[in-house]
């Protein structure tokens, strides 16, 4: 292990006898003195030290020692048998001294900060704001918008634009990708590279531009999704930062443990995932997410948002920043998508409620409801128009976030999805499992049953039947 961390360029320190606190103290001093690289301290101890029969065996790890062995250990240590939970006086006194020490430090800090606030009221207010996780006034002003007639835009590109304007009003927004910036478009342009100061910066491949040092806001995580997620967790726990990460959606599999911990700890982290379906094309089935969108939806307290077009993509960034209760997964396309004509359809701000009626073929109550997310909303819309042209009353719902939608009052949900309209067809280029949550046993799902394939997006959507034609057919069968 020491050699491995040496190979990484770390400062390694080994304490041969971890039962001697003096040596641990020395190691800590040594580590603090090394400021040019990270330190790791290896402390050798014996597992279950002092338990005469279990010392040095795995039994001391996997299960409690048991009453008998605890007694024997106490005897070995020269402790009294009673009370069962015994704390030696000197240990108690040592730990209790931390209370006074901590109080002193806190009082000193409060005094210092009061003085700082008096001298620099604006900076102090800004510090307090970011540490409390509050967004500043006007943080969402001047977002990019995509009027009717804008050329086709991938949601990853709209995300890039949204990030640039949001970053200018939110200095606490900071992050990067797992060596995929040219594909995820998750750089904060000109806002600096978070790198060791003094390293080369001019013309460095991958550099985002701006400051080069610890004030850079672009983190180059490297090809290591798990560590990227874990680092973001640490940044969020520190406070004062809204961290984001980015990679391809299929690689979310590498970072499930830190995503889960972020959800468990209720941390505001933005996990960006691009290349979200078979629509990524020729990279083929290893790179094409199938089960991933649903699997992220299944994580408690993780909000998943998959916008349908450029305007919803901008809204999704806002929704993610507004979600202080836990992490958000933002899911974007690689491929270009038409910008939905908002003069004919409901505004994209409907995303803030998770799902919304995008289009009704008539003011009357619909007979048929079509639901979709992301790039497939367009397919639902085409199917809806086809069905309407044959005289059916159709509603098309854009459902970018199940989590947010399910948190809305029942009144709103029932308004969007009238409980008695049961001809419901959902479309998503992902696993079908889970969609019965909205379409029930009487509806249908147009989705994937197996893995993808390598071909251009258009060919794959045809091959796997993720088409308006297929939706229309399913609707007609159910409406018979």
Task: Using CB under 8 A, list all residues that contact its own copies.
Answer: 1-4, 6-8, 57-58, 62, 182-183, 205-206, 253-254, 256-257, 260-261, 263-264, 285-286, 290-291, 294-295, 297-301, 419, 422, 431, 433-434, 436-437, 440-442, 448-451
Using the minimum distance from each CB to its own copies, give the nearer residue, 58 or 94: 58
The CA angle 122-126-127, to the nearest 5 degrees, is 115
In whole angstroms, the minimum distance from the beta carbon of 433 to its own copies comes to 5
Using the minimum distance from each CB to its own copies, give the nearer residue, 166 or 302: 302
Dihedral sign of CA atoms 329, 334, 339, 340 in order: negative
Residue 454 to residue 286: CA distance in whole angstroms: 9
H or E element that contains 247: strand 242-248
Q: In angstroms, what is the C-alpha Rg of the chain?
A: 28
Using the minimum distance from each CB to its own copies, give the nearer residue, 135 or 426: 426
CB neighbourhood size of 222 (10 A): 12
User: Order of strands, edge to edge, in the sheet holding 356-360?
Assistant: 356-360, 394-398, 368-372, 423-431, 444-448
In whole angstroms, the minimum distance from the beta carbon of 295 to its own copies comes to 4
Active-site residue 428, yes or no? Answer: no
Using the minimum distance from each CB to its own copies, give the nearer residue, 147 or 418: 418
Using the minimum distance from each CB to its own copies, give the nearer residue, 147 or 285: 285
C-alpha separations of 428 from 12, 77, 313 in Å: 50, 64, 17
In whole angstroms, the minimum distance from the beta carbon of 35 to its own copies comes to 23
In whole angstroms, the minimum distance from the beta carbon of 437 to its own copies comes to 5
In whole angstroms, the minimum distance from the beta carbon of 7 to its own copies comes to 3
Query: To which residue do tokens 């038409």 refer?
Result: 338
In whole angstroms, the minimum distance from the beta carbon of 297 to its own copies comes to 6
Residue 335 to residue 337: CA distance in whole angstroms: 6
Q: Following CA atoms 231, 232, 238, 240 in sequence, which dihedral angle do they give, to the nearest 10 degrees?
A: 140
Using the minimum distance from each CB to its own copies, give the nearer residue, 208 or 241: 208
C-alpha separations of 190 from 15, 133, 194, 209 in Å: 44, 24, 12, 4
Using the minimum distance from each CB to its own copies, give the nearer residue, 20 or 442: 442
Strand 394-398 versus strand 356-360 pairing type: antiparallel
**Active-site residue, selected from the candidate residues 69, 172, 225, 428:** 225
Buried b (16+ CB within 10 A) or exposed e, 313-347: bbbbbbbbbbbeebbbbbbbbbbbbebbebeebbe
Strand 218-220 versus strand 242-248 pairing type: unpaired
In whole angstroms, the minimum distance from the beta carbon of 54 to its own copies comes to 12
The residues carrying an active-site annotation are 225
């Amino acid at each position: 292990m020491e050699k491995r961390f040496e190979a990484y360029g770390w400062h390694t320190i080994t304490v041969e006898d971890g039962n001697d606190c003096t040596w641990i103290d020395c190691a800590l001093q040594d580590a603090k003195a090394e400021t040019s690289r990270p330190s790791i301290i290896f402390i050798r101890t014996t597992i279950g030290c002092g338990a005469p029969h279990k010392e040095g065996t795995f039994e001391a790890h996997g299960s409690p020692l048991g009453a008998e062995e605890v007694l024997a250990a106490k005897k070995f240590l020269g402790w009294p048998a009673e009370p069962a939970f015994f704390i030696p006086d000197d240990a108690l006194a040592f730990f209790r001294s931390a209370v006074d020490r901590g109080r002193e430090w806190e009082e000193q800090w409060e005094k210092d900060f009061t003085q700082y606030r008096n001298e620099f009221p604006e900076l102090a207010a800004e510090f307090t704001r970011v540490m409390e996780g509050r967004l500043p006034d006007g943080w969402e002003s001047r977002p990019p918008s995509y009027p009717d007639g804008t050329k086709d835009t991938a949601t990853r590109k709209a995300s890039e634009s949204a990030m640039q304007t949001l970053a200018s009003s939110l200095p606490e927004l900071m992050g990067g990708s797992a060596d995929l910036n040219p594909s995820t478009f998750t750089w904060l342009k000109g806002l600096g590279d978070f790198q060791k100061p003094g390293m080369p910066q001019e013309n460095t491949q991958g550099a985002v531009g701006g400051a080069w040092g610890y004030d850079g806001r672009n983190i180059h995580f490297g090809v290591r999704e798990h560590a990227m997620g874990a680092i973001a967790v640490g940044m969020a726990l520190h406070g004062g930062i809204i961290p984001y990460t980015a990679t391809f959606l299929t690689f979310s599999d590498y970072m499930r443990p830190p995503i889960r911990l972020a959800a468990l700890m209720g941390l505001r982290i933005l996990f960006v995932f691009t290349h979200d379906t078979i629509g990524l094309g020729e990279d083929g089935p290893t790179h094409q997410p199938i089960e991933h969108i649903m699997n992220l939806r299944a994580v408690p307290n993780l909000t998943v948002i998959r916008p349908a077009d450029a305007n919803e993509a901008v809204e999704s960034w806002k929704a993610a920043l507004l979600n202080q209760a836990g992490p958000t997964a933002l899911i974007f396309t690689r491929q270009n998508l038409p910008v939905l004509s908002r003069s004919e359809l409901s505004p994209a701000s409907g995303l803030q409620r998770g799902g919304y009626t995008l289009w009704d073929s008539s003011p009357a109550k619909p007979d048929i409801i079509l639901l979709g997310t992301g790039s497939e909303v367009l397919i639902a819309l085409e199917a809806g128009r086809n069905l309407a042209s044959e005289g059916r009353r159709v509603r098309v719902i854009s459902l970018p976030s199940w989590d947010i939608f399910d948190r809305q009052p029942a009144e709103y949900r029932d308004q969007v999805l009238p409980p008695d309209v049961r001809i419901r067809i959902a479309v998503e280029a992902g696993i079908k499992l889970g969609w019965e949550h909205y379409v029930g046993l009487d509806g249908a799902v147009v989705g994937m049953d197996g893995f993808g394939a390598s071909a251009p997006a258009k060919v794959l959507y045809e091959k796997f039947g993720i088409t308006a034609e297929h939706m229309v057919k399913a609707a007609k069968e159910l409406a018979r």
